């Protein structure tokens, strides 16, 4: 049986090439994402391990709060602790460390490093064991205006030893570069920029109080374990301060990154690998179906000479397993290339992931090969069962085409599943549910229903799509339509692969458009100012709070309000909050206050969104306990309730109540209202002049500001499109493969057409249009399902938004449709050329020559 | 039927409508080379029903394919009218087949996705023309399939399918129709009907037909028989009968 399968595989190698490629690409994507995930983890592990390499223990504030978009933060400790800790027996050395935000400006006047990697300013730690950075040039800083920078930043910013540069902390500080350091042997900590001041300078620029330090680094005396030193140090620490071992710190940093960014990235990528594999499954299923149909006579002959049904089934399944296994193994290696490409892709959009060799684990290989083989086997089961059901008598008959009848049971099952799916989705959405999981289940049922129902729809759909083609292209169009209609199951399975891909594309397109429209509308509606100064969104630069003050002093400016962002803990849960001078906030933002007043918000009060107030049961006048990162807890009174807005978080703190606890006070955006009568251009020029002194952040008008808020969505959408492109390519290969196999099956028919006068050009046109009809069928189905699911998902996800807007990006969807159709042209190109090359005579000259032709193809 | 014939006409040529001159066809090369056609010279007279006979491997199908422009000669020439088919590029050869040649094969004559009528009008539609209504009606009437026109090939009997193929060949009023074992897959009754109809097309409609067959009964319907053996032209016979053809074949050892 094995020999038979292997011989069978070899004889059909060309026809199986499509299956091989589909499995290969799907598995390569999967293994690529796994490799990338492992690589990133290894690199982060390595980086964090080197950070704490020589540190045995760390003393830090025990309060920790975590904002939505950042890693957990610990509060500072008092500098007097350093001497206290140093005197503990077992402590060889204790050094204070300060770090915070500091953007180093390069020779070109722009902040070094794109989006993503942190911009760190710190104090230079003199003990080399406690400092992961090593001086490779120059010396440590001695004066307040002297700094050491990392080699990577120096290279990127074209800065050299002895140069004068500016660091924004976020106030611009002019510094002299006296030293260049490496992180271990590397240029830096990933792509992060690093600027180290003297301790007093770092305290001045980075801490609220100059008596505070971020943490105390401890080196244990010889023979004292990390745990021991932590135990001894802990006994002298005041409340609100904790000590942990260096090993714990490493573990903590690694798990923070793992649970945050890495997990998200991995889930995101594996999801797309899943889509690619699903699309591949359809292509594989189709190829095996067609091959099983074409070898029906062979199977029948085997049954006639005594093979059992089980043996026929086994031989087909064995072929699937062997194909899947070989393709998967190849795919695992292809994954290495994919991982490199993915990393390049993320770097290109500005993620700047840490570099390092690819981490290839046994788990990746095993998972990829098992998944790839299982998918192939799964896709081959239905065709194998069909092959095994062939009666021995079929060997004697001539025509052995695949059964083309579409069963009633299929229609009923398809419609039933579709109805259940749609009902689940609709009831969740209309019923006011926000459960994404329910929508997801409904979506899955809907897609499965559509796929089962596909063959029922394929014939009328092909007829409808083919009608204009027939009118446009005459007989070639009619023949193409007829070919697309002749085997609805095949047409449907071929189109389904593309449909799944296009569904996901459409879903994201609709979802993103709705999200953008919602944010855009909310920003446009609530932003009452004329200009916005932003340091750049998405991990961008921070602005100095003094910028708002300076801009506010301009005669052409009526109000300038800086908005900052921070994190606090309210009643046990961490919360991202917006910080602002609320007395003039209503000049630039219409928050739609429903209760209380913003202008009278005192230093010990806060404002919350209506949604948040409802969720937590807060009313104006209630007092809520708010814990800041420095460990202080104050009772703040709810002074106002506003309708949610995308410019402001759900909780709004006054600048006054925040600043007392902040380590480094920064703004993310400054909103400006001009004096009435001042033209936008004049006002803008005046604001830009002031901003220039602060590193020249972007000054945007209302429209630009709204666009820049939604810029991140576009970027993610672009990324999604690129990741989905592979699924679309697999679907295209599926179409091309099906066409090639169909053409092979129709050799004699094509010969007849050529004999009675079809030119090669007409033949090519016929094949191409069949391809276009099939792919358009898939595209239309995908757009339909995608719009519905995108709408559902957007509605469910944005229910909490005050101004949720559903957008149907007709233009984009039209482009998707056109791309789907063009995809058909591309997919049909090679099959059409091969069909045109076939000899008309060979096709009709009888069995001998037909067999000869088959061998050669 | 006969009343129609006077209004129908087929292009007429004073000389032979198709000719093969020293036609030689070799398949493969070296040790495996097969000489399928060996220096055959033959004229196909116009408005006649010519049968090409011979045992398996005699080269009869190869001769037909070469004369119809479906296959190339290794050496020698084939003419349709005055045109040397060997000089035509593929596109012109295709158009020539479409405009001036009709085909009926042993099986698989019809496109399964097209109805009977669509199959009949296929060549003219490939040429981008509307078929001449009057002639088409006459052909359909002659073939006797008026009530089956909307049926797909799968819904027709073998005999009906071959009659549709014959109608398609006639519909474009070709100078010559090549039929390759047209009755090979039919029972004797359907075969007889088809042959009678071909005979009728020649006699009443003035059509020229060349038929490859190995069935002496089928050859008996022809005006003349050309005998091939081992790729060579070995004999010809006018006004054949099934018995005479059978006797002659026995002599060829087929």
Q: Cβ separation of B125 and A474 shorter than 8 Å?
A: yes
Range 180-209 of B in CB contact (< 8 A) with A: 180
Of B112, B126, B180, the CB nearest to A762: B126
What's the pLDDT at A368? 93
| A488 min Cα distance to partner chain B (Å) | 13
Indicate yes or no: CB of A757 within 8 angstroms of CB of B168: no
What is the per-residue burial (b if ≥16 Cβ within 10 Å, else e) of A95-128?
A: bbbbbbbbbbbbeeeebbbbebbbbbbbbbbeee
Q: Place A803 in a pLDDT band, splitting at 50, 70 and 90.
A: low
Mean pLDDT throughout A91-102? 90
Best B27, B68, B102, B122 residue to mutate vs chain A (most A CBs within 10 Å): B122
Q: Among A749, A755, A760, whose Cβ lies nearest the Cβ of B103?
A: A755
CA A73 to chain centre: 25
**Residue to test with chain B: of A485, A757, A759, A773, most B Cβ within 10 A:** A757
**Number of domains into which chain B is organized:** 1
Inter-residue contact B147 to A500 (CB < 8 Å): no
Contact A136, A665 (CB under 8 A): no
Judging contacts by C-beta atoms under 8 Å, the chain B residues touching residue A766 are none
Q: What is the pLDDT of residue A174?
A: 92
**Interval B78-107: pLDDT, tens:** 999 889 998 888 888 888 888 888 888 887
Please check the confidence at residue A538 and state whether its pLDDT lies above 50: no
CATH number at residue B71: 3.40.50.300
pLDDT value at B5 more than 50? no
Rounded distance between C-alpha atoms, residue B160 and residue B144, angstroms: 9
CA A830 to chain centre: 34
Helices first, then strands: H and E counts in chain A: 26, 26
Taking the C-alpha atoms of residue A503 and residue B139, their distance in angstroms, rounded to an integer, is 51
ipTM above 0.85, yes or no: no
Domain coordinates in residue numbering, chain A: 55-246, 466-528+707-857, 542-696
Is B139 domain-assigned? no
State whether residue B125 sits within 8 Å of chain A by CB: yes
CB–CB contact B113 A756 (8 Å): no
> What confidence tens digit (pLDDT) does each residue in A631-681 have?
888 888 898 998 866 678 888 988 888 887 877 778 888 999 999 888 889
A517 pLDDT more than 90? no
CB contact under 8 A, B61 and A478: no
Distance CA A515, CA A521 (A): 10
Domain span at residue B63 reads 13-107+175-252
Which H helix or E strand runs over A286?
A: helix A263-294
Which pLDDT does position A260 carry in this prediction? Answer: 74
Tell me if residue A470 falls in helix, strand or coil: helix
pLDDT score recorded for residue B97: 85
The reply to whether residue A757 touches residue B127, judged by beta carbons under 8 angstroms, is yes
Q: Say how far apart CA A274 and CA A409 lie, in whole Å.
A: 29
Q: Give chain B's mean pLDDT.
A: 85
Comparing A65-69, A727-731, B123-127, the range with the smallest average pLDDT is: A65-69
Angstroms from B200 CA to nearest CA on chain A: 22
Q: With cut-offs at 50, 70 and 90, classify the pLDDT of residue B4.
A: very low
pLDDT of A401 higher than 60: no
Q: Please indicate, yes or no, if residue B182 is contained in any of the structural domains.
A: yes
Interchain pair B109, A752: CB under 8 A: yes
Cβ burial, residue A19 (10 Å; 0-12/13-18/19+)? buried
**For B57, which residue in chain A has the nearest alpha carbon?**
A848
In this prediction, residues A759-770 reach a mean pLDDT of: 90
Q: Do A756 and B168 touch (CB under 8 A)?
A: yes
Q: Which of B70, B112, B180 sits opposite A840 (nearest CB)?
A: B70
pLDDT, tens digit (0-9, with 9 covering 90-100), for B34-62: 899 999 999 999 999 999 998 888 888 88
Q: Greater confidence, A798 or A32? A: A32
| Contact at CB, B113 and A485, closer than 8 angstroms | yes
pLDDT band at B1 (very low <50, low <70, confident <90, very high): very low
Strand stretches in A540-689, DSSP E: 557-570, 573-580, 593-596, 605-609, 623-627, 633-642, 651-654, 669-674
Q: What confidence category does residue A180 fall into, taking pLDDT thresholds of 50, 70 and 90?
A: very high
Q: Which residue has the tokens 């897959």?
A: B185
Q: What percent of chain A has pLDDT over 90?
A: 18
> How confident is the model over A370-374, as a mean pLDDT?
93
Answer whether A757 sits within 8 Å of B109, measured CB to CB.
no
Mean pLDDT of chain A: 83
Q: Is A672 helix (H, G, I), strand (E, B) or coil?
A: strand
pLDDT tens string A466-509: 888 888 878 888 888 888 888 888 888 888 888 988 998 999 89
B-contacting residues in A 395-414 (Cβ below 8 Å):
398
pLDDT tens, residue by residue, A412-430: 888 888 888 888 888 877 7
Q: Where residue A356 falls among pLDDT bands split at 50, 70, 90? A: low
Rounded to a whole number of angstroms, the distance between the first and last alpha carbons of chain B is: 38
pLDDT-derived band at B223, boundaries 50, 70, 90: very high
Q: Which residues of chain B make contact with A756, given a CB cutoff of 8 A?
A: 97-98, 103, 122-123, 126, 168
Return the pLDDT at A310: 81
Contact B105/A at CB under 8 A: yes
Structure tokens of A115? 């989006």
Mutation target vs A (from B69, B94, B95, B112; most A CBs, 10 A cutoff): B94
Whether A853 contacts chain B with CB within 8 A: no
For chains A and B, count residue pairs whose Cβ atoms are closer than 8 Å.
80
On chain A, the residues whose CB falls within 8 A of the CB of B126 are 475, 753, 756-759, 762
The model's pTM? 0.78
| Residues A841, B127: C-beta atoms closer than 8 Å | no
Say how many residues make up chain B. Answer: 254
**So what's the pLDDT on residue A199?**
93
The answer to the question of residue B195 being in a domain is yes
CA distance A537 to A406: 54
B27 CB within 8 Å of a chain A CB: no
Q: Is the pLDDT of residue A846 over 50?
A: no
CB contact under 8 A, A479 and B123: no
Question: Nearest-CA residue of chain A relative to B97?
Answer: A757
- Give residue for tokens 């169009």: A477
- Round to whole Å and give the CA distance between A466 and A483: 10
CB atoms B108 and A752 under 8 Å: yes
């Amino acid at each position: 049986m094995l020999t038979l399968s292997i011989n069978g595989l070899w004889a059909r190698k060309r026809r199986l090439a499509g299956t091989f490629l589909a499995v290969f690409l799907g598995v390569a994507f999967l293994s690529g994402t796994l490799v990338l995930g492992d690589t990133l983890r290894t690199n982060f592990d390595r980086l964090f391990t080197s950070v704490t390499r020589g540190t045995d223990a760390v003393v830090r504030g025990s309060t920790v709060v975590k904002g939505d978009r950042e890693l957990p933060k610990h509060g500072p400790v008092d500098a007097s602790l350093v001497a206290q800790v140093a005197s503990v027996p077992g402590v060889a050395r204790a050094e204070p460390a300060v770090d915070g935000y500091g953007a180093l400006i390069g020779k070109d006047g722009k902040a070094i490093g794109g989006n993503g990697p942190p911009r760190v300013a710190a104090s230079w730690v003199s003990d080399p064991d406690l400092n992961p950075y090593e001086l490779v040039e120059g010396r440590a800083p001695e004066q307040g205006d002297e700094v050491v920078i990392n080699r990577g930043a120096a290279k990127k910013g074209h800065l050299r030893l002895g140069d004068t540069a500016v660091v924004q902390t976020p106030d611009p500080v002019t510094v002299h570069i006296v030293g260049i350091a490496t992180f271990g042997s590397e240029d830096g900590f990933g792509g992060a920029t690093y600027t180290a001041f003297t301790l007093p300078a770092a305290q001045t620029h980075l801490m609220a109080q100059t008596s505070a330090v971020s943490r105390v680094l401890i080196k244990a005396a010889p023979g004292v374990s990390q745990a021991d030193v932590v135990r001894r140090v802990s006994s002298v620490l005041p409340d609100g301060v904790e000590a942990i071992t260096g090993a714990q710190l490493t573990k903590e940093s690694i798990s923070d990154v793992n649970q945050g960014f890495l997990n998200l990235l991995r889930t995101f990528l594996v999801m797309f690998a899943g889509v690619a594999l699903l699309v591949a499954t359809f292509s594989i299923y189709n190829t095996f179906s067609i091959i099983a149909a074409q070898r029906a006579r062979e199977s029948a002959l085997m049954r006639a000479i005594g093979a059992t049904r089980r043996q026929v089934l086994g031989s087909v399944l064995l072929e699937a397993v062997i194909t899947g296994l070989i393709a998967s193994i190849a795919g695992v290696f292809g994954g290495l290339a994919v991982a490199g490409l993915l990393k390049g892709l993320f770097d290109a959009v500005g993620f700047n992931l840490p570099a390092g060799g690819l981490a290839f684990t046994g788990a990746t290989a095993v998972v990829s090969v098992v998944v790839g083989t299982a998918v192939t086997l799964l896709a081959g089961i239905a065709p194998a069962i069909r092959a095994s059901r062939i009666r021995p008598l079929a060997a004697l008959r001539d025509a052995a085409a695949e059964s083309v009848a579409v069963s009633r049971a299929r229609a009923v099952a398809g419609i039933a599943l579709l109805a259940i799916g749609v009902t689940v989705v609709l009831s969740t959405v209309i019923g006011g549910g926000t459960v994404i999981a329910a929508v997801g289940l409904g979506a899955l049922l809907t897609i499965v229903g559509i796929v089962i129902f596909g063959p029922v729809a394929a014939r009328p759909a092909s007829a409808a799509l083919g009608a204009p083609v027939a009118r446009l292209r005459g007989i070639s169009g009619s023949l193409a339509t007829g070919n697309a209609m002749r085997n609805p199951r095949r047409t449907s399975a071929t189109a389904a692969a593309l449909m799944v891909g296009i569904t996901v594309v459409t879903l994201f397109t609709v979802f993103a458009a709705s999200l953008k429209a919602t944010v855009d509308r909310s920003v446009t509606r609530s932003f009452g100012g004329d200009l916005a100064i932003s340091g750049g969104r998405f991990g961008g630069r921070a602005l100095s709070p003094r910028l708002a003050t300076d801009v506010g002093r301009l005669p052409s400016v009526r109000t300038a309000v800086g908005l900052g962002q921070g994190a606090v803990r309210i009643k046990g849960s961490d919360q991202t909050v917006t910080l602002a001078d609320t007395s003039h906030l209503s000049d630039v933002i219409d928050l739609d206050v429903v209760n209380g007043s913003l202008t009278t918000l005192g230093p010990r009060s806060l404002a919350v969104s209506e949604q948040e107030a409802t969720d937590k049961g807060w009313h104006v006048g209630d007092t809520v306990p708010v814990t800041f990162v420095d460990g202080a807890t104050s009772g703040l009174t709810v002074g106002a309730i506003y309708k949610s807005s995308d410019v402001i978080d759900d909780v709004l703190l006054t600048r006054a109540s925040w600043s007392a606890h902040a380590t480094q006070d920064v703004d993310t955006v400054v909103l400006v209202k001009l004096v009435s009568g001042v033209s936008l251009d004049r006002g803008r020029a005046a604001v830009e002049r002031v901003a220039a002194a602060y590193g020249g952040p972007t000054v945007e008008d209302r429209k630009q500001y709204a666009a820049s808020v939604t810029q991140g969505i576009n970027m993610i959408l672009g990324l999604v499109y690129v990741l989905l492109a592979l699924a679309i390519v697999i679907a295209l290969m599926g179409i091309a493969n099906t066409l090639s196999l169909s053409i092979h099956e129709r050799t004699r028919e094509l010969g007849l057409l050529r004999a009675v006068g079809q030119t090669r050009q007409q033949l090519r046109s016929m094949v191409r249009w069949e391809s276009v009809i099939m792919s358009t069928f898939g595209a239309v189905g995908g757009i339909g399902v995608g719009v519905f699911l995108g709408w559902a998902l957007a509605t469910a996800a944005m229910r909490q938004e005050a101004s949720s807007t559903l957008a149907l990006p007709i233009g984009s969807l039209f482009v998707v449709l056109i791309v789907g159709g063009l995809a058909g042209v591309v997919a049909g190109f090679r099959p059409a050329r091969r069909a045109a090359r076939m000899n008309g005579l060979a096709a009709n000259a009888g069995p001998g020559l037909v067999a000869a032709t088959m061998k050669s193809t | 039927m006969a009343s129609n014939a006077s209004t129908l006409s087929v292009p007429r040529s004073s000389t032979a409508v198709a000719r093969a001159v020293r036609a030689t066809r070799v398949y493969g090369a070296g040790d495996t080379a097969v000489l399928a056609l060996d220096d055959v010279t033959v004229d196909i007279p116009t408005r006649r029903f010519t049968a090409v006979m011979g045992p398996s491997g005699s080269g009869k199908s190869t001769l037909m394919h070469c004369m119809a422009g479906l296959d190339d000669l290794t050496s020698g020439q084939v003419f349709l009218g005055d045109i040397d088919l060997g000089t035509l590029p593929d596109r012109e050869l295709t158009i020539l087949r479409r405009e001036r040649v009709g085909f009926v094969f042993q099986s698989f004559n019809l496109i399964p996705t097209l109805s009977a009528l669509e199959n009949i009008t296929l060549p003219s539609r490939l040429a981008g023309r509307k078929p001449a209504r009057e002639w088409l009606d006459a052909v359909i009437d002659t073939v006797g399939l008026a009530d089956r026109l909307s049926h797909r090939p799968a819904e027709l009997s073998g005999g009906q399918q071959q009659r549709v193929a014959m109608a398609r060949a006639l519909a474009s009023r070709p100078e010559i129709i090549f039929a390759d074992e047209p009755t090979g897959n039919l029972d004797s009754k359907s075969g007889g009907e088809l042959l009678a109809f071909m005979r009728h097309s020649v006699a009443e409609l003035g059509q020229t037909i060349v038929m490859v067959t190995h069935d002496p009964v089928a050859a008996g319907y022809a005006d003349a028989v050309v005998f091939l053996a081992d790729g060579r032209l070995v004999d010809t016979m006018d006004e054949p009968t099934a018995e005479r053809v059978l006797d002659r074949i026995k002599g060829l050892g087929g």
